[in-house]
């Protein structure tokens, strides 16, 4: 599976992506809005294995793709997962050196288009910690609107956190 957009290639993960994937997820600022258990190398490795397993499922309902440059440098991941009939969640993570470059926006635009066009999604949503301003701005920049906020529904790093849900419906995307 491969999506091409501008100068990016979104493709399935491979086991040999592991060193680069561990490196980009190990940065402390990258981990600001992840729990301790979501931040370790063990979690990153199990995520990568999980993405590869998902790619081999039939029918396939989850697509967490590696974001790569044309020369195959791994910069992050972007994905879409079926959560219920017609309803898909998306997520994006980028190594810090590529933040602020527009790459996350380009990747999310492509994954949303894939969701509505190829997966026939009716609703696409993203969940993020409410204080993750970069993620929230990213959601807004690709057309998602705030749907709801869950108060104090996560607890990690010794405190509670709110979670915001942003979404876009097929008719809004078509417009």
Ligand X SMILES: CC(C)(COP(=O)(O)OP(=O)(O)OC[C@H]1O[C@@H](n2cnc3c(N)ncnc32)[C@H](O)[C@@H]1OP(=O)(O)O)[C@@H](O)C(=O)NCCC(=O)NCCS
Q: Which residues bind ligand X (CB under 6 A)?
A: 30, 33, 91-94, 99-101, 104-105, 128, 132-135, 137-138, 141
The bridge status of strand 123-129 relative to strand 74-84 is unpaired
Residue among 105 and 170 whose Cβ is closer to ligand X:
105
Nearest approach, Cβ of residue 119 and ligand X (Å): 20
Q: Please return the burial class of 126, using the count of CB atoms within 10 Å of its CB with bins 0-12, 13-18 and 19+.
A: buried
CB atoms within 10 A of CB 112: 22
3-class DSSP assignment, residue 58: coil
Which candidate, 134, 125, 123, places its Cα nearest to that of 93?
134
DSSP 96: G
Q: Please return the burial class of 37, using the count of CB atoms within 10 Å of its CB with bins 0-12, 13-18 and 19+.
A: exposed
Nearest approach, Cβ of residue 169 and ligand X (Å): 20
CA 175, CA 159: separation in Å to the nearest integer? 40
Residue among 37 and 57 whose Cβ is closer to ligand X:
37
Nearest approach, Cβ of residue 100 and ligand X (Å): 4
Residue among 86 and 91 whose Cβ is closer to ligand X:
91
Nearest approach, Cβ of residue 58 and ligand X (Å): 28
Q: Is the omega angle on the peptide bond into residue 59 within 30 degrees of 0, that is, cis?
A: yes
Residue among 4 and 99 whose Cβ is closer to ligand X:
99
Nearest approach, Cβ of residue 76 and ligand X (Å): 6
Tokens describing residue 150: 């869950």
Residue among 87 and 132 whose Cβ is closer to ligand X:
132
């Amino acid at each position: 599976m491969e999506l091409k957009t501008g100068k990016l290639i979104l493709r399935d993960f491979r086991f040999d992506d592991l060193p680069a994937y561990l490196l980009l997820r190990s940065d402390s600022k990258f981990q600001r809005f992840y729990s301790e258990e979501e931040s370790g190398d063990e979690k990153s490795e199990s995520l990568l294995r999980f993405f590869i397993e998902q790619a081999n499922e039939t029918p396939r309902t989850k697509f967490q793709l590696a974001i790569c440059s044309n020369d195959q440098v791994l910069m992050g991941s972007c994905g879409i997962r079926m959560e219920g009939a017609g309803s898909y969640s998306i997520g994006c993570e980028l190594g810090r050196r590529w933040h602020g470059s527009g790459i996350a926006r380009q990747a999310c635009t492509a994954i949303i288009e894939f969701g509505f066009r190829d997966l026939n999604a009716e609703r696409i949503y993203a969940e993020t910690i409410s204080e993750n301003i970069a993620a929230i701005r990213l959601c807004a920049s690709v057309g998602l609107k705030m749907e709801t906020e869950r108060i104090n529904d996560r607890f990690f790093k010794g405190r509670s956190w709110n979670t915001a849900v942003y979404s876009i419906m097929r008719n809004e995307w078509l417009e």
